[in-house]
């Protein structure tokens, strides 16, 4: 005598398995997309924090040397004493813990003296695209704008 099984005891059909796999893939990809979105936003916050830290280091440099590093000396003057004129007489650095970092996208920060809008200096990251200007995540991150 054959045992009768009902439909629920037969196991998963191939189509049901494909549907479950499709659902899992959709959920995984949407979670991954959201994670990348937050990673990109975190890079913007990191760049802003790096610029603020460089700003503080430049002000400490100014306090000791009565001037900011020149354009030619650049941000490297915060890490090691420079021999480029004007040579700082009262250099007490380093003013940063490590060599000058790259921005979160692997590009150097732009340091300009004098800075825009009458400021003594300006620091800029060109954002995720590495180009001047841009919108959203590609927007420049600067020391003179919030």
Tell me how many degrees the CA angle 35-38-44 measures, rounded to the nearest 5: 145
**Are 100 and 78 within 8 A, CB to CB?**
yes
Whether the predicted model's global pTM rises above the 0.85 cut: no
- DSSP character at residue 101: P
Rounded CA gap, 128 and 71, in Å?
Answer: 24
Give me the residue spans of the domains in the chain.
45-142
CATH superfamily assigned to domain 45-142? Glycoprotein, Type 4 Pilin (3.30.700.10)
For 20-58, write each residue's pLDDT tens digit: 888 888 887 777 777 777 888 899 999 999 999 999 999
Q: For position 48, what pLDDT does the model report?
A: 95
């Amino acid at each position: 005598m054959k045992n009768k099984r009902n439909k629920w005891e037969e196991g998963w059909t191939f189509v049901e398995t494909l549907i479950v796999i499709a659902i899992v893939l959709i959920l995984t990809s949407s979670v991954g997309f959201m994670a990348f979105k937050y990673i990109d936003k975190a890079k913007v916050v990191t760049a802003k924090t790096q610029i603020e830290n460089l700003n503080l280091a430049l002000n400490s440099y100014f306090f000791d040397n009565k001037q900011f590093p020149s354009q030619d000396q650049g941000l490297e003057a915060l890490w090691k004493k420079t021999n480029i004129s004007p040579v700082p007489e009262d250099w007490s650095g380093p003013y940063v813990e490590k060599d000058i970092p790259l921005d979160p996208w692997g590009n150097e920060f732009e340091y300009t003296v004098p800075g825009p809008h009458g400021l003594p200096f300006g620091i800029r990251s060109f954002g995720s695209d590495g180009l001047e200007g841009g919108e959203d995540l590609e927007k420049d991150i600067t020391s003179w704008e919030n």
